[in-house]
Structure 1
Amino acid sequence: MSKLTRIGVFYDGNYFTHVSNYYNYVHSRKSRLSIGGLHEFFKGRIALSESSEFELCKIVDAHFFKGRLTAGEANEKGNQLYFDRVFEDVLAYEGVTSHYSPIRGNVNTRTADKGLNLMLALEAYEIALQKKLDVLVLVGADGDYVPLVKKLHTLGTRVVLVSWDFEFTNDEGKTLTTRTAQDLIKESAYPLAMHDLVEEGIEDNDSMVQGIFVLPPVEERETPKKSEARTYESTSVENSDALPGESHEGNILSLKTGYGFIEFEPNNLFFHHSNLNNVDFNDLFEGDRVSFTVEENEKGELVAKGVELME
C-alpha cells in the first residue's frame, strides 16, 4: 500500500503579499495569487518530485505569518481594514492558520521582518516534529530561514522552497527588486524558481499554473468600457477651485498599472490602488462613477483618496 505524503505549508506573509501585488499590478497577468490554486500546484510538484501519486499528497497543516498595522493606522489607509478581512476569510476557507504580529508605521521594517521570520521558524519546526511532516513547503526568500531548513533536514523533512526573483519599476519611478538568498536555495531539497515556472506555464497554457491566479487571463475577461481620450495633466491647487478635504464625484478617465485618473476640472485627479475603499483595483473600469476626497500631495497637486465605486 502506498504511503501518504504529509505536507505542511508555511507562508512568509509579507513576502507573499509583495509577490501577489506584483502579479496584480505590474505583471501582464493582472491577477492576485490564489491560495487554493497554489496548494494544488504544490501537491502536483511534490507528487512529481517524490514519485508519488497526487491523491496521496495531502496538506495536513498550513500557516500564514504577517505583520499587521494597528486598527487605527489601517483605517487611515482607506481600504486596508476591509481587504485585510477579506484575505483572512480566504485563508480560513482554505484551512490556513493566520499568525499576525502588530506593527506600527514607525517600526523598522527589517526588525519587524526578523521577528516574524523567527515566529515562522519556531512554529514550523515544532509542527514538523509533532506531526512528522514528510515535506514542508516554505514560501519565502530570506536567508534567515537557512537554520530552519537545516534543522528540518535532521528530522527527515524535505523542504520545498517556493520563491520568486523579479525586478520592476513602480509608479513613483523606484526600482524594486526581489531576490532569493542563494544559501537558502542550496539548502532546500526542492527549490522552485516560481518566476520561471509561472512564465513557462502561462506560455504553455498549463492549467496547474493558470490555477494559481484568482482571475482568468486578461483576454478572457469582460472588455473594459472605454472613455474618450483626454489630457493626463495633473490638477494643482493653484489651478483649481477645489480645496483639500472636500468630497466630490467623478468618472474614471483612465486606468494604468496600479493607478488611474479621475475626470476633474480643469484637468483630472490621480489616484493610487492603495487609496480605494471596498473595491479591488481590477474591478474598476474606465467610465465608472466614483466618489472621493480631494487631498494635496507633497508636489502641490490635488489627488483623489478614499475612492469608492458608486452604485
Structure 2
Amino acid sequence: MPQLTKIGVFYDGNYFLHVSNYYNYDHPQRRRLSITGLHQFIESRVAQEEGVPLSRCKIVDSHYFRGRLNATEAQQRGSALYYDRVFDDILMSSGVTTHYSPLRSSHGRRHEKGIDVWFALEAYEQTALRRFDVVVLIASDGDYVPLARKLNALGARVMVIGWDFEFTTDSGSGMVTRTSQDLLREASYPIAMSELIDHPQTEADRRVVDSLFVTEKKKESNGGEEKPAPSPVLEDPVEGEIGEVMESHIFSLKGGYGFITYPPNNLFFHHTNVKNVRFEDLLEGDPVEFTLAHSDKGKLVAQEVYFLGELEEDGEQE
C-alpha cells in the first residue's frame, strides 16, 4: 500500500476573506468559498499532481491566520462578534487551527501587524516537525517567497492556491488582485483558481467548481428572484469638492456596497473602499470619513471610507 501523503494547509486569512468577498459580492457566483469544498479540492489535486491514490492523500494539519477586533470593539460593532464566532465554528468543524492577532489601532486607523511573520514561522516549524509532504499556501504576497524556498529546502513540495481577477465596481472603479509571480515560481504546484472557476472545460470540472462554494441559499417562499433595492440617484452635492475629505454617516448597507448620507442625495461606496474595519462590521448610522471622488462613469462616489467610531488605541510599554 502506498505511503500516506501528508498535507499541511496554511491560510492567509485576510487574503482568503478578500477572495471570498469577491465571489460573494462581485462575481456571478454570488456565493462564498467553502472551507470543506476547498479542502476536498486540495486533496484531490495533490493526489493528481503526486500520482498517488486519493485515499492516500490527507490534510493532516491546517492553520488560519488573521488580525481581528478585540472583544470590546467587536461588542461595539453589533453582530461582528457573532459572525466571527460563526466562522470560527466553520473552521473548527473543518479541523482548522485559528491564529488571531488583535488589530492595532493608531490615529483612528486599524492595522494588521506581524501576522505574515507568524504565518511564515508556524508554517516552517510545523513542516519541520510534522514532515509534511506537500505544504499548501493560500496566499498571494511575494513576502512569502523566502518561506517557500525554506519549505523546498526541507524537502516539501509547495502548492500555491492563488486567484487572479479584476472587476469594475458599481461605482466604476477598477479593482485588480494578482498572485505574486515570484511566489508562483517557487511553487512545485501553482494552482490558478480563477481560470478553473471561470473556464471549466468539462462537466466534471463544473461539479468541482460548484463544490468550491457554499450551498446556495433558498429563495423566498414566493419563488421569485430576489431583487435589490433601488439605488439612490447620485447627483452633484450642494457643497464639497472632488478630493475633499468629509464626514457623514452610513445611510444603508447592501450586499457588498452601501450609501453614505450626503445631502441632497446619498453617495455610493464599494466594500473594497472600506479601510480600517471590515465591511461586514459596519452598521447603518455609523459615523464615517470619506473622500469625495468621481467614478470612472463620472458619478459622485465615496472612496477611502474610514469608520470614525471609538477605536481602542494601542499604548506602548515604556
TM tier, smaller = 0.7 to 0.9
Q: 8 Å contact 1:165–1:179 — kept in the other structure?
A: yes
Q: Describe the superposition over 1:243-283 as per-residue Cα deviations: whole angstroms up to 9, x where unpaired.
A: x99xx9xxx9x96x62368xxxx9999898777789xxxxx
1:98-117 equivalences in 2 (<5 Å): 98-106=98-106, 112=112, 115-117=114-116
Q: 8 Å contact 2:169–2:270 — kept in the other structure?
A: no
Tell me which residue corresponds to 1:11: 11
Tell me which residue corresponds to 1:80: 80
1:1-311 equivalences in 2 (<5 Å): 1-106=1-106, 112=112, 115-171=114-170, 173-201=172-200, 204=203, 206-216=206-216, 223-225=224-226, 232-233=232-233, 258-259=256-257, 293=285
Query: C-alpha distance in 1, partners of 2:103/2:208?
Result: 36
Residues 144 and 267 of structure 1: is their aligned pair in 2 closer, same or farther, counting only changes over 3 Å? closer
Residues 19 and 29 of structure 1: is their aligned pair in 2 closer, same or farther, counting only changes over 3 Å? same
Q: Describe the superposition over 1:101-131 as per-residue Cα deviations: whole angstroms up to 9, x where unpaired.
A: 1113438999735x21111111111111111
More displaced 10-residue stretch of structure 1: 36-45 or 206-215 = 206-215
Query: C-alpha distance in 2, partners of 1:296/1:109?
Result: 12
- TM-score, scaled to structure 1: 0.72
**Residue 136 of structure 1: SS of its match in structure 2?**
strand
CA shift for structure 1 position 167:
1.6
Residues 75 and 51 of structure 1: is their aligned pair in 2 closer, same or farther, counting only changes over 3 Å? same
Query: C-alpha distance in 2, partners of 1:73/1:174?
Result: 31
Q: 8 Å contact 2:167–2:176 — kept in the other structure?
A: yes
**Residue 200 of structure 2: SS of its match in structure 1?**
helix
Instruction: Read off the aligned partner of 2:132 and give its amino acid letter.
Output: L
CA shift for structure 1 position 11:
0.3
CA shift for structure 1 position 209:
1.9
Q: 8 Å contact 1:41–1:209 — kept in the other structure?
A: no
Residues 202 and 74 of structure 1: is their aligned pair in 2 closer, same or farther, counting only changes over 3 Å? farther
**Residue 141 of structure 1: SS of its match in structure 2?**
coil
Show structure 1 runs of 5+ residues with no match.
Answer: 239-243, 279-290, 306-311
More displaced 10-residue stretch of structure 1: 128-137 or 102-111 = 102-111
Instruction: Read off the aligned partner of 1:259 and give its amino acid letter.
Output: Y
Query: C-alpha distance in 2, partners of 1:21/1:6?
Result: 30
Instruction: Read off the aligned partner of 2:116 and give its amino acid letter.
Output: N
Instruction: Read off the aligned partner of 1:97 and give its amino acid letter.
Output: T
Identity among equivalent pairs (%): 46
Query: C-alpha distance in 2, partners of 1:158/1:109?
Result: 38
Residues 42 and 232 of structure 1: is their aligned pair in 2 closer, same or farther, counting only changes over 3 Å? same
Q: 8 Å contact 1:201–1:210 — kept in the other structure?
A: no
Residues 74 and 292 of structure 1: is their aligned pair in 2 closer, same or farther, counting only changes over 3 Å? same
Q: Describe the superposition over 1:30-51 as per-residue Cα deviations: whole angstroms up to 9, x where unpaired.
A: 0110000000000111111000
Instruction: Read off the aligned partner of 1:95 and give its amino acid letter.
Output: G
Residues 71 and 111 of structure 1: is their aligned pair in 2 closer, same or farther, counting only changes over 3 Å? closer
CA shift for structure 1 position 132:
0.9
CA shift for structure 1 position 84:
1.1
**Residue 206 of structure 1: SS of its match in structure 2?**
helix
**Residue 199 of structure 2: SS of its match in structure 1?**
helix
Instruction: Read off the aligned partner of 1:142 and give its amino acid letter.
Output: D
Tell me which residue corresponds to 1:308: none
Residues 61 and 80 of structure 1: is their aligned pair in 2 closer, same or farther, counting only changes over 3 Å? same
Tell me which residue corresponds to 1:281: none
- TM-score, scaled to structure 2: 0.71
Q: 8 Å contact 1:78–1:275 — kept in the other structure?
A: no
Query: C-alpha distance in 2, partners of 1:202/1:151?
Result: 35
Q: 8 Å contact 2:7–2:132 — kept in the other structure?
A: yes
Instruction: Read off the aligned partner of 1:201 and give its amino acid letter.
Output: P
Instruction: Read off the aligned partner of 1:154 and give its amino acid letter.
Output: A
Residues 277 and 183 of structure 1: is their aligned pair in 2 closer, same or farther, counting only changes over 3 Å? closer
Query: C-alpha distance in 2, partners of 1:197/1:128?
Result: 28
Residues 71 and 119 of structure 1: is their aligned pair in 2 closer, same or farther, counting only changes over 3 Å? same
Residues 224 and 269 of structure 1: is their aligned pair in 2 closer, same or farther, counting only changes over 3 Å? farther
Tell me which residue corresponds to 1:286: none
Tell me which residue corresponds to 2:315: none
Instruction: Read off the aligned partner of 2:256 and give its amino acid letter.
Output: G
Q: Describe the superposition over 1:204-251 as per-residue Cα deviations: whole angstroms up to 9, x where unpaired.
A: 4522221110134999x9643558x9673379x99xxxxx99xx9xxx
Tell me which residue corresponds to 2:244: none
